[in-house]
C-alpha cells in the first residue's frame, strides 16, 4: 500500500491521571488535528476505590470526571472525527459507556458509537485458586475476605476489535496504559501482533504520552536550571506516528511548556526498571536502543525501540482492605519552633505508647525539618516554623481517630503556641499484584448506540 507508507497518525494525550486538567485536552482537540485522543486515568488502586463506589451504587464506579471531560471534548471530537479511547470505565465500563451516551444526547449529538471493553475484572476467576503475591512472601489466600477487586492488565487486542467495529469512543477498565495508544496504531497501520519491533515502538510511544504533561514540561521545571516557558498554560502532548513506528512527539503551537530531548529522556525512563525489559501484555519492550532527536522546536523524534515475544501471564492488581491510617498535624512558629515541635512529638509518642499503641507502624516527624527525607539528609539552620506530623497504621477506625485526636489535644495539653491542627482518618485500600495465565482472562467488546 503506497499511501500507507506516507500516512501519519496523530494521537494526543488528554489526561495523565484521574484528576488531570481538562483545558489542555480541549486545546489539543481544537488545534491538534488529531485522529485519536486518549485519556489515561487509572492509578494502581483506582479500580479498588471505584469498586467500593459501585458496590454502594451500581450506576457508579467509573471516573468521576468522565462526564465533565466528555462535555468538554465530545463536540470537537465528533465534528473532526477524532476517536476517543479511555480507561475511565474503571470498575464499571458499562455504566461509563451509558454515561457517555447520556452526555452525547444532552449535547444534541445525533449519533455516536460507544464501545465497552470488558473482561479485565477477574475477581470470579480467583475462586478456588491461590496465587503468589509479587513482592510479598505470602499468597493471595492470606488476604482472606479483605479482597475488593482483581483486574488484569489487558493488552491492545480487544481495543483494536472495538475500533474495527467502528467505535467513536472506546471505554475500558484496566488496560496496560501504553496499550491505549498502541491499539489505534495497530488498527490504522495493520501491524501484526507478532511484529515485536513495531509492538515495542508502539509501546514506547504510548509510554511517552501516557502521563500527558509530564513530557511537555510538567514535573520538570527547576528555576535557573530547567526553565519551562509559560508553565501556567502547559499544553498536552501529541505524537505524529509513521507506519514504520517512528514518531515525533510535539504539542500544539501556542501552548505553554516545551518538548525537548531532556523532557523525553526523563519520561522514557519514568517508572521503568530494566530499560531493555519493559513487561507489557503485548510485548516485552526494549527501550535500551531508543534514540531521541530534536528535529525542530518542541519536536522530538523517537525511534529504535524493539521487543521480545509477550509474556505468558498477565499481571493482575488485587485491591484489598488494609486497616486504617490515623493522622494529625499541628504547627509551631517563631523562636524555638523546632524545639517545641520536637517536645510535642515526644509527648505524643509517650501518650500513644501509654495507650497500648506503641507496636503499630508509625511516623513521628516535623514538616519543614525531616518529614520527607529523614534526619541524615535534613541538615540546616532551625526553621521559623515547623509542623508536627504523626501518622499510624492501625486495625480499626476507632484507633485511627484516637491517634488524630491526640495530636489535636496538643492545643490544651502540649507545648506553647501550637496552632492549625488538622486530623484525618482513612481506610487503607492497598494494592498487590499476582500473575495469571492468559487463558483465564476472556475479553469482550460490545457497542452501545444512541
Partner 1 sequence: MLLREIAHSRTGDKGNRSTLSVIAYDMKDFAQIERCVTAERVKAHYQDMVHGPVERYVVPHLGALNFVLHDALGGGVTRSLALDAHGKCLSSAILSIDIGPREAA
Which parts of this chain interact with partner 1 (CB under 8 A)?
A: 44-45, 134-135, 219-220, 222, 225-226, 262, 265-276, 288-292, 322, 325, 361-363, 365, 367, 371-377, 389, 391-393, 428-431, 433
Sheet holding 8-15, edge to edge: 291-296, 299-303, 247-251, 237-242, 8-15, 36-39, 83-86, 169-172, 113-118, 444-449
Angle at 70 between CA 205 and CA 230, to 5 degrees: 60
Q: Shortest Cβ distance from residue 216 to partner 1 (Å)?
A: 14
How is residue 138 written as a grid cell? 505470602
Which helix (H) or strand (E) segment holds residue 242: the answer is strand 237-242
Task: Give CB contacts under 8 A, 24+ apart, made by 369-374.
Answer: 369/338, 369/341
Cα separations in angstroms, 299 against 239, 256, 262, 294, 304: 9, 14, 12, 6, 17
Residue 33 or 433: the one with the smaller Cβ distance to partner 1 is 433
Q: Shortest Cβ distance from residue 115 to partner 1 (Å)?
A: 30
- Residue ranges of alpha helices (H) inside 176-258 are 179-189, 196-209
Q: Shortest Cβ distance from residue 420 to partner 1 (Å)?
A: 16
The DSSP result for 254-323, as a single string, is T-BS---HHHHHHHHHTT-SSTT-EE-SS-EEE-TT-EEEEEETTEEEEE--EEEPPPSEEEEEEEEEEE
Residue 79 or 269: the one with the smaller Cβ distance to partner 1 is 269
Q: Shortest Cβ distance from residue 275 to partner 1 (Å)?
A: 6
What 3-state class would DSSP assign to 187? helix
Q: Shortest Cβ distance from residue 293 to partner 1 (Å)?
A: 11
Q: Shortest Cβ distance from residue 10 to partner 1 (Å)?
A: 25
Q: Shortest Cβ distance from residue 270 to partner 1 (Å)?
A: 5
Q: Shortest Cβ distance from residue 290 to partner 1 (Å)?
A: 8
Task: Give CB contacts under 8 A, 24+ apart, made by 187-192.
Answer: 187/160, 187/163, 188/7, 188/9, 188/35, 189/4, 189/7, 189/9, 189/243, 190/4, 191/245
Residue 183 or 388: the one with the smaller Cβ distance to partner 1 is 388
Residue 3 or 376: the one with the smaller Cβ distance to partner 1 is 376
Contact 423, 404 (CB under 8 A): yes
CB atoms within 10 A of CB 376: 7
Q: Shortest Cβ distance from residue 145 to partner 1 (Å)?
A: 18
Residue 30 or 361: the one with the smaller Cβ distance to partner 1 is 361
Residue 72 or 330: the one with the smaller Cβ distance to partner 1 is 330
Residue 351 or 393: the one with the smaller Cβ distance to partner 1 is 393
Contact 400, 324 (CB under 8 A): yes
Residue 29 or 215: the one with the smaller Cβ distance to partner 1 is 215
Residue 372 or 450: the one with the smaller Cβ distance to partner 1 is 372
Contact 183, 156 (CB under 8 A): yes
Rounded distance between C-alpha atoms, residue 280 and residue 204, angstroms: 11
Amino acid at each position: 500500500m503506497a499511501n500507507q507508507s506516507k500516512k501519519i497518525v496523530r494521537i494526543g494525550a488528554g489526561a495523565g491521571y484521574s484528576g488531570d486538567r481538562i483545558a489542555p485536552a480541549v486545546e489539543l482537540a481544537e488545534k491538534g488535528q488529531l485522529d485519536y485522543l486518549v485519556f489515561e486515568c487509572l492509578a494502581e488502586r483506582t479500580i479498588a476505590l471505584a469498586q467500593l463506589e459501585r458496590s454502594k451504587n451500581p450506576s457508579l464506579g467509573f471516573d468521576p470526571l468522565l462526564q465533565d471531560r466528555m462535555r468538554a471534548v465530545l463536540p470537537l471530537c465528533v465534528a473532526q472525527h477524532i476517536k476517543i479511547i479511555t480507561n475511565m470505565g474503571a470498575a464499571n465500563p458499562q455504566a461509563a459507556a451509558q454515561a457517555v451516551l447520556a452526555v452525547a444526547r444532552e449535547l444534541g449529538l445525533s449519533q455516536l458509537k460507544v464501545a465497552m471493553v470488558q473482561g479485565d475484572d477477574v475477581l470470579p476467576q480467583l475462586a478456588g485458586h491461590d496465587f503468589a503475591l509479587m513482592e510479598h512472601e505470602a499468597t493471595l489466600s492470606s488476604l482472606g475476605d479483605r479482597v475488593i477487586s482483581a483486574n488484569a492488565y489487558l493488552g491492545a487486542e480487544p481495543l483494536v476489535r472495538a475500533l474495527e467495529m467502528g467505535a467513536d469512543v472506546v471505554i475500558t477498565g484496566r488496560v496496560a496504559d501504553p496499550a491505549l495508544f498502541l491499539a489505534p496504531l495497530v488498527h490504522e497501520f495493520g501491524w501484526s501482533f507478532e511484529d515485536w519491533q513495531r509492538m515495542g515502538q508502539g509501546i514506547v510511544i504510548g509510554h511517552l504520552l501516557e502521563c500527558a504533561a509530564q513530557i511537555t514540561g510538567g514535573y520538570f521545571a527547576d528555576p535557573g536550571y530547567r526553565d519551562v516557558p509559560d508553565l501556567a498554560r502547559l499544553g498536552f502532548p501529541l505524537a505524529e506516528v509513521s507506519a514504520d513506528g517512528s514518531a515525533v512527539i510535539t504539542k500544539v503551537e501556542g501552548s505553554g511548556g516545551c518538548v525537548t530531548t531532556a523532557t523525553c529522556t526523563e519520561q522514557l525512563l519514568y517508572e521503568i526498571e530494566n530499560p531493555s525489559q519493559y513487561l507489557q501484555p503485548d510485548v516485552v519492550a526494549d527501550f535500551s536502543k531508543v534514540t531521541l532527536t530534536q528535529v525542530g522546536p518542541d519536536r522530538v523524534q523517537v525511534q529504535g525501540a524493539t521487543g521480545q515475544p509477550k509474556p505468558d501471564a498477565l499481571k493482575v492488581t488485587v485491591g484489598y482492605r488494609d486497616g486504617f491510617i490515623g493522622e494529625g498535624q499541628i504547627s509551631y512558629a517563631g523562636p524555638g519552633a523546632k524545639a517545641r515541635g520536637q517536645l510535642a512529638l515526644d509527648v505524643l509518642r509517650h501518650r500513644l505508647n501509654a495507650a497500648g499503641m506503641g507496636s503499630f507502624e508509625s511516623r513521628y516527624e516535623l514538616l519543614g525539618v525531616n518529614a520527607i527525607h529523614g534526619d541524615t539528609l535534613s541538615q540546616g539552620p532551625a526553621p521559623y516554623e515547623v509542623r508536627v506530623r504523626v501518622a499510624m497504621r492501625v486495625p480499626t477506625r476507632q484507633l485511627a481517630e484516637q491517634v488524630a485526636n491526640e495530636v489535636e489535644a496538643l492545643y490544651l495539653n502540649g507545648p506553647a503556641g501550637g496552632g492549625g491542627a488538622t486530623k484525618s482518618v482513612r481506610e487503607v485500600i492497598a494494592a498487590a499484584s499476582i500473575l495469571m495465565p492468559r487463558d483465564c482472562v476472556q475479553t469482550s467488546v460490545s457497542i452501545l448506540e444512541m
